[in-house]
Amino acid sequence: MTTTNKDGRILLTKHREDYLAENAQSSLKPLGLYLHIPFCVRKCNYCDFVSFPEQSGDVIEAYVGRLCEDIAAAGETYGSRYHVDTVFIGGGTPSLLTPQQLQRILQAVDDAFLVGCEFAQNCGAGLKGCDGLEISMESNPGTFDAEKLRAFIDAGVNRLSIGVQSLDDGVLRHLGRIHDAETALKAMRAAKSLNLNYNVDLMLGIPGQTLAVWEDTLKRTIAEEPKHISFYSLQLEMGTPFYRDFKEGRLTLPEWSENREMYHRALEVLKDAGYQHYEISNAAIPGYECRHNLKYWTMQDYLGLGMAAHSFLEGRRCFTTSDLKEYLKGPAEPSWEESDPWDRKTDFVFTELRLIDGFRKEDYKTMFGCAFEDDFGPAYRKLLQEGRMEEKDGRVRLTPAGLDETNPVMEELLNV
Amino acid sequence: MKDQQQFIRNFCIIAHIDHGKSTLADRLLENTGSVAQRDMKEQFLDNMDLERERGITIKLQTSRLVYKAKDGNEYIFNLIDTPGHVDFNYEVSRSLAACEGAVLVVDATQGVEAQTLANVYLALDEDLEIVPVINKIDLASARPDEAKQEIEDVIGLDASDAPLISAKEGINIEGVLEAIVEKVPAPNGDPEAPLKALIFDSYYDNYKGVVIYTRVFDGVLKAGDKIKMMNTGAVYDVTEVGVNAPYQTPVKELSAGSVGYVCASIKQVRDARVGDTITLADRPAKEHLPGYKKVQPMVYCGIYPTPDEKYENVKDCLEKLQVNDAAFVFEPETSQALGYGFRCGFLGLLHMEIIVERLEREFDLEIITTSPSVIYKVVMHDGSEVMIENPSNLPNPTEYDHIEEPMVKATIMLPKDYVGSIMALCQDRRGNMTHMEYITEDRVALHYDMPLNEVIYDFFDALKSKTRGYGSLDYEFDRYERSNLVKLDILLNKEIVDAFSMIVHESKAYGRARFVCEKLKEVIPMHQFEVPIQAAIGQKVIARETVKAYRKDVLAKCYGGDISRKKKLLEKQKEGKKRMRQFGTVEVPQEAFTAVLKYDDNK
């Protein structure tokens, strides 16, 4: 059941009263829920995510059915220990779903879990994008209009992530995107017109993209006033057309220095426009950070449902099958990854250092019972000396130089 | 006692893959009421995929059937099965030696094939009575008369009264049973003479130890006897004798003319070698049955655990297989590239594939196999000879006088339309045609003298591909011959990867070098730096490719699903290297080792 609160934002409310009453004494922990929708109109040239283009409506319908089953089962297993405070519907292209399908999925979540609001007030971040419950959905321009978006909002979505990537038609074609710049602008304007909190995904370091083209994309995006912007450097992943083309000399990437220039330019432009750079490739108007994604970078519990979905629960990681047929067959146990205390320590360092503010040494000690230096001393001192890491007010973080080439930094730390 | 023997028929079935051997065996069992066909099938079903894929015939279990013939007498039929593939020629010949007759199954739509012919010749060598049967007559494309004519022309057997049957549809199975009664001679051993029993098969059973399948020629064998293996000299106490009817059923004794099994607490299959003669320790026969030989591996390759697999696991499984397979040998070896592993010897390429496949499918091991190699004879300057099973052990060219390589006699049967392309293929593989014959108007047999090293590479795949599956191959070892061979090394980032080293004929070195470099370029992922791939003979680089560099320094994005994967990528310097092997600093995926062996149609 959903209803609109007085700000025009949407909340799942079935259990709200009960939940508030119960949660006053209860010890239900917050849980992020990731739901994977592995369907796309077409596969982009750089994409190595688990997604299946051109599926029939029957397959998608069957998938939604299976997903709802999994959500119900997860409620039985985890519902008594957790309340859900973020939902992230990723893909693939979730906006390919019909509003009815999305409604079914979110209804299943509402039925299976206590969906909660109070957490936001306690966490102190003063998040404004949603009132306690963040429900994000990924989308691609060209798969929805304002009317469909309105229906998604009615179903419960209160944060939209739009895969724009670029506002240059040449670059978009090169990437194999299904939309042009005009369609992307329309998508952003639809979200804006509905007063919806939305993010825009942009990509830099793309073949054929110059610094000027990148800056133009960035500025025109900012003009649409999204609350959140993600800016990624294109990566060639094995098995993609881009990877093969590059390896065989048919594709040229911007020089490394140019790639970094684009990144630095983005930081300046975003800062001038009032965005705060809070993670390597994410910036937001203060208070509109993506709470679900923050869980990934702060070692909080999240549960991934659907196929090819990853979870991190009580210190253990697991993932579900990447085989669509197998997934559709029926419920199956996820594969649990083995982890030891060292894995958890390196996970912590690896994820928290992605945040621009890094982490508090105190928190490390509380979590693991020993000082950060005890575990990572030699590598850490080396990185401090080289100016790739820094320490301030008890916080450890990467310097701008460290952020530029994070892999070598992480390698030093992980192989200490 | 002689009377008893006259109602025994010991026979085998010879057929090409897919010509209906197992189906006919099922029907014989069913028609004699011996067993429901289901039960028998389970015993070899596991291997069916392999059989289909590779054109080999996996053994059925030896079975004893009772048939009430039209003459009113009850006959004991011992159906002794033979492995069909050339790699197992010796085992085939011993199985045949245990019989008096052979049912030759010929597909009415296909005619006689190379492997069938090879086995028929083996059967004729053993003086077996051949009972031809024309199968699949229910199919619209059946040409029974032509099949008969082929049998007469090619093998020189009278096939005029061969039963026309369909094993699948159960048509005229009776005809086969009657032909066996009439044509296959009864055994005529001497039950009073000292024991002479041929071992024609054996396998390892967890509870009973080695179970020997034997044909008793003279004398009597029973539980409690002290037996002696005449060739190995080993002595054992018999704990049980019995027959397969078709399940193992203990009996009091096995007397002259019978076929059955023997258990004697033997621990390894190699202690009860196929071809050896069992006699009684206290009353031995004067001489053993003819034809004993110790089988020697002809093809070697390295088997290594992947980084995720334990060395000990691989060792355990190899030991388990060896207990059951006297022809399979292995010993530990070390590779700079792959670490600790084993050098394994096989009868042939298919034997190798079966073992590798079983390690992967049955034992669920993750292993890397290196390029198969034959055994080269290296003649040193002082005349001494060194046998080289691993190419990377080849001495420096200054240290030896010359190298000799094993040669085989190969027979290829195929429809005449493909003769041109197969002759080109054989020539490319350094084959010399000795002669060619037309079996029928449309079918041809090509006889070649060829180096084994060319046959084991990808010849079989190429033959199948170029003849659309209609070509068949048979070969046997002939001799060692002096040859102009060189060692080809592969270097990644300037370092030799010993596991890729191979010995090739000088004339083929450039082609192979280019092929391997190109394949490796395809499968080796991009690194932060350029990776040169080189092929070299000694110091001389004869082919080169480069994998481009790709700088991947930025962790541009990272969400829930990426964390473990990305972290592991960065950690692999330390240990992980999931499914990858690192040489110097170059990561080589496991598929690289098989990619360089695959037949490439476009080449």
Task: Decide if A414 and B567 are in contact by the 8 Å CB cutoff.
Answer: yes
- The overall average pLDDT reported for chain B is 84
Average pLDDT rounded to a whole number, residues B104-123? 82
Place B58 in a pLDDT band, splitting at 50, 70 and 90: very low
Q: Has residue B408 got a pLDDT over 60?
A: yes
Measured between CA atoms, how close is B527 to chain A, in angstroms?
A: 11
Q: Taking CB atoms and an 8 Å cutoff, what residues of chain B touch A354?
A: 555, 558
Place B16 in a pLDDT band, splitting at 50, 70 and 90: confident
User: Using CB atoms, which residue from B548, B554, B559 is nearest to A296?
Assistant: B559
Question: Helix, strand, coil % (nearest 5) of chain B?
Answer: 30, 35, 35
Average pLDDT rounded to a whole number, residues B173-190? 94
Average pLDDT rounded to a whole number, residues B106-122? 81
Nearest to B272 by CA among B338, B199, B178: B199
Measured between CA atoms, how close is B245 to chain A, in angstroms?
A: 43
Average pLDDT rounded to a whole number, residues B562-590? 64
Measured between CA atoms, how close is A235 to chain B, in angstroms?
A: 7
Measured between CA atoms, how close is B559 to chain A, in angstroms?
A: 6
Q: Taking an 8 Å Cβ-Cβ cutoff, which residues of chain B contact chain A?
A: 525-526, 547-548, 550-561, 563-564, 566-567, 570-571, 573-574
Task: Decide if B567 and A236 are in contact by the 8 Å CB cutoff.
Answer: no
Q: Has residue B286 got a pLDDT over 70?
A: yes
Average pLDDT rounded to a whole number, residues B268-287? 89
Q: Which of B557, B565, B566, B577 to mutate to test the interface with A (most CBs of A within 10 A)?
A: B557
pLDDT at B553: 64
Average pLDDT rounded to a whole number, residues B361-379? 88
User: Using CB atoms, which residue from A230, A233, A293 is nearest to B554?
Assistant: A233
| Sequence-distant (≥ 6) Cβ neighbours of residue B186 within 8 angstroms | B5, B6, B7, B8, B9, B100, B257
Q: Which of A31, A136, A203, A235 to mutate to test the interface with B (most CBs of B within 10 A)?
A: A235
Average pLDDT rounded to a whole number, residues B493-504? 88
pLDDT at B43: 37
pLDDT at B323: 76
Q: Taking CB atoms and an 8 Å cutoff, what residues of chain B touch A404?
A: 553-554
Place B584 in a pLDDT band, splitting at 50, 70 and 90: low
pLDDT at B248: 84
Task: Scan for tokens 């530029």, then name that residue.
Answer: A404
Task: Decide if B552 and A351 are in contact by the 8 Å CB cutoff.
Answer: no
Q: Has residue B442 got a pLDDT over 60?
A: yes
pLDDT at A120: 41
Nearest to B504 by CA among B451, B462, B540: B451
User: Using CB atoms, which residue from A238, A337, A411 is nearest to B564?
Assistant: A337
Q: What's the CA angle centered on B199, arms B287 and B86, to 5 degrees?
A: 110
Q: Taking CB atoms and an 8 Å cutoff, what residues of chain A touch B547?
A: 247
Place B83 in a pLDDT band, splitting at 50, 70 and 90: low
Quick check: A317 and B564 in contact, CB under 8 A?
yes
pLDDT at B42: 40
pLDDT at B101: 95
Task: Decide if B554 and A404 are in contact by the 8 Å CB cutoff.
Answer: yes
Q: Has residue B293 got a pLDDT over 90?
A: no
Rounded to an integer, what distance in angstroms lies between the CA atom of residue A260 and that of residue A328?
A: 43
Task: Decide if A34 and B550 are in contact by the 8 Å CB cutoff.
Answer: no
User: Using CB atoms, which residue from A246, A249, A408 is nearest to B553?
Assistant: A408
User: Could you read off the pLDDT tens digit of each residue along chain A, which spans 416 residues?
Assistant: 333 333 333 333 333 444 445 444 457 888 999 999 999 988 888 888 888 887 788 999 999 999 999 999 999 999 889 989 999 999 889 999 999 999 999 999 988 988 865 444 443 333 333 457 899 999 999 999 999 999 999 999 999 999 999 999 999 998 999 999 999 999 999 999 999 999 999 999 999 899 999 999 999 999 999 999 999 999 888 888 998 899 888 888 898 889 999 999 999 999 999 999 999 999 999 999 999 999 999 989 999 999 999 999 988 899 999 999 999 999 988 999 888 888 889 989 989 999 999 999 999 999 999 999 999 999 999 999 999 999 999 999 999 999 988 888 888 888 76
Q: What is the CA radius of gyration of chain A?
A: 21
The token duo for A388 is: 């790739």
- Which residue from A minimizes the CA distance to B527? A247
Rounded to an integer, what distance in angstroms lies between the CA atom of residue B80 and that of residue B33?
A: 18
Longest Cα separation, chain A: 63
Q: Which of A233, A237, A335, A404 to mutate to test the interface with B (most CBs of B within 10 A)?
A: A233
Number of Cβ pairs < 8 A linking chain A and chain B: 94
Quick check: B212 and B261 in contact, CB under 8 A?
yes
User: A93-107, A271-285, B257-271, B455-469: which range is least confident on average?
Assistant: B455-469
Rounded to an integer, what distance in angstroms lies between the CA atom of residue A63 and that of residue A79?
A: 22
The percentage of chain B sitting over the pLDDT mark of 70, rounded to a whole number, equals: 88
pLDDT at B85: 58
Question: What is the DSSP-derived secondary structure letter of residue B528?
Answer: S
Q: Taking CB atoms and an 8 Å cutoff, what residues of chain A touch B567?
A: 346-347, 350, 410, 414
| Sequence-distant (≥ 6) Cβ neighbours of residue B505 within 8 angstroms | B430, B451, B453, B454, B483, B484, B485, B486
- Which residue from A minimizes the CA distance to B576? A415
Instruction: Indicate the SS3 state at residue B205.
Output: strand
Nearest to B178 by CA among B95, B105, B100, B77: B77
Q: Can you list the positions of beta strands (E) in B339-399?
A: 339-346, 367-369, 373-374, 376-380, 385-388
pLDDT at B572: 61
Q: Has residue B37 got a pLDDT over 50?
A: no
Measured between CA atoms, how close is A166 to chain B, in angstroms?
A: 16
User: A249-263, A352-366, B100-114, B541-555: which range is least confident on average?
Assistant: B541-555
The token duo for B78 is: 């011992």
* Top-confidence range, B86-90, B113-117, B487-491: B487-491
Rounded to an integer, what distance in angstroms lies between the CA atom of residue A181 and that of residue A197?
A: 21
**Verdict on whether the full-model pTM lies above 0.80:** no
How many CB atoms are closer than 10 A to CB B296?
Answer: 12
The burial class, CB within 10 Å (0-12 / 13-18 / 19+), for A234 is buried
> What's the half-sphere exposure (Cβ side, CA atoms, 13 Å) at B576?
16
* Top-confidence range, A220-224, B37-41, B477-481: A220-224
Phi, psi of A54 (to 5 degrees): 55, 45
pLDDT at B575: 46
Task: Decide if A246 and B548 are in contact by the 8 Å CB cutoff.
Answer: yes
Average pLDDT rounded to a whole number, residues B572-594? 61
Q: Has residue B135 got a pLDDT over 80?
A: yes
